[in-house]
Chains A and B, each alone.
Chain A
Amino acid sequence: MKPDPEFIDYLDPTMRRNRAAGPDAPVVPQEPALALPTLGALAGKTVVFLDNGWKSFGRMTHWMERTLRDRFGVAEVKRQYISSSTPMPASVLERVLAESDLAIVGMAN
């Protein structure tokens, strides 16, 4: 942009890019999404809920556990209490990886 005394140019303070794109804007290739197992593939498997201690997560996962067992044939559902605001200890993470096929994490309330 050329300087114009009637105007001032300032720098965007955010990390947002491509604020506006016209119809001729180049198409940005997307990375393929992570391949997650379908629910049907969980038959006979072990699922762990990483429970952050919020009652809302407990209620939601009570329903999810029943659904996973009854509708999708999940063999075992475990619960592991985690802190809601600190990283999981490496030893716990290793045990979860060793003992389960899928982990569902309670992120917040």
Chain B
Amino acid sequence: MPALSSERLRVRNDARAIFDDLYARGFTDGLPVIPPTEEAVADMLEHCGLRPQDEIAVLPPANSVATAEKVAVNAVMAGCLPEYLPVVIAALQAMTAEGFCLLSVQTTTSPVAPVLVINGPIRERIALNTGRGCMGPGRRANATIGRAVRLALVNIGDCPPGEIDKAVHGMPGKFSFCFGEREEESPWEPLHVERGFAATQSTVTVYGGQGTQNILGMFRQPENILHVLADGMRSYGHNGYLRGSGTPLVVMSPGHARILGEHGWDKQRIRNELFERTRIRRSEIPAELQITRPVYADYGPDELCATCRTPSDIHIVVAGGPEPYHIAYIPSFSHVQAQTAAIAVKGERHEA
């Protein structure tokens, strides 16, 4: 068993006493956790071939070096199986890439959560839900991977909600927000291939998401599906319009994707259409400036404000149940640009 350096804390061996103790110390998200015993954490590290002292990422606002040991402690608490740990690690690494602006995500007043989208063969191996109800609740991998990330952000990044995390309302997705792309039912390239990874490489792509907005689009014509979707996305109350940047995410049902694909719509054509339809004239937005200076502050009345910088910044993935009824739109927070990281699974090798 590898030597672990974390402080040992002792509590009466009773489920309620354990939860009371961990909760009182501020270690939880308010829900019961699994006690991270030395044996459980060591097992998880050994399963993944990691040493306790391996450095995973630097997590703000404390700028603490998250070691494999500390990440595993939080993953055990969250209820992760050992084989989930590489996904948690990759998510933390993606989130600490410069373009993600994790310090802002951690400390903002906005209701923003890391949204984890998993691609590649690991989805099947860990029984990740990519289909009906993929955003929850009900599936262990989805629920606990996202939760482990949250616990790591709070405990290692030292960002307790209500204190350093200044979110005005918070958001249920801050408990956990993780799903997989349903690559097998998509007419298009999966997200990770679009972003330059081999199809056989498992990846996690992380977004700074501000909840989900359901778009009911029970149409059969692509133009009408995109019309209702764009109308739902077109709200200058979303942070994206404030900065004119970010990476908004459209989660198409496989049914909608099939209709669009059958009519010859590829992702870029859809992005172009959505970008154009979601632009808003400056004159439709109050002349008074928001208290943080918007990017459109000096625009003329007919200049167009956009929810992101370019059409390519609108990301599209396919997930969920098969009916072409609902589309989930996940607006982006501020400048956050989605980041993708490879999931390193022990013994796996991939072509570059």
Report how far A6 CA is from B12 CA in the complex, Å: 6
**Can you list, as one digit per residue, whether each of A82-103 has a CB less than 8 Å from chain B (1) or not (0)?**
0111110000000000000000
- Which residues, 1 to 41 on B, are CB-close (under 8 Å) to A? 4, 6-13, 18, 22, 27, 35-38, 41
A77 to B37, CA, bound (A): 56
Given contacts A54-B291, A84-B292, contact A11 B101 (CB under 8 A): no
In the bound complex, how far is the Cα of B124 from the Cα of A32, in angstroms? Answer: 54
Q: Do A8 and B13 have beta carbons less than 8 Å apart?
A: yes
A5 and B6 CA atoms in complex are apart in Å by 21
Asked whether, in the complex, the Cβ of B104 is within 8 Å of the Cβ of A85, the reply is yes
Q: Are B98 and A13 in contact (CB under 8 A)?
A: no
Check B70 against A83 for contact (C-beta < 8 Å): no
CA distance A84 to B27 in the complex (A): 29
For chain B, give the interface size range.
35 or more
Q: What is the predominant secondary structure among interface residues of chain A facing chain B?
A: loop
Binds B, one of A14-22, A36-44, A61-69: A14-22
A108 contacts the other chain (Cβ, under 8 Å)?
yes
Given A13-B74, A13-B156, A84-B104, do A7 and B292 touch, yes or no (CB 8 Å)? no
The proximity string for A residues 25-57 relative to B, scoring 1 for CB distances below 8 Å and 0 otherwise, is: 000000000000000000000000000111110
A60 within 8 A of B: no
Chain B's nearest CB lies how many Å from the CB of A44? 31
Q: Which of A1, A17, A85 contacts B8 (CB 8 A)?
A: A1
Distance of A58 Cα from B101 Cα, bound (Å): 23
A24 at interface by CB-CB < 8 Å:
no
A15-B70, A84-B104 in contact; A10/B291 too (CB < 8 A)? no
Task: Give the interface of A toward B (CB within 8 A).
Answer: 1, 5-17, 19, 52-56, 81, 83-87, 108-109
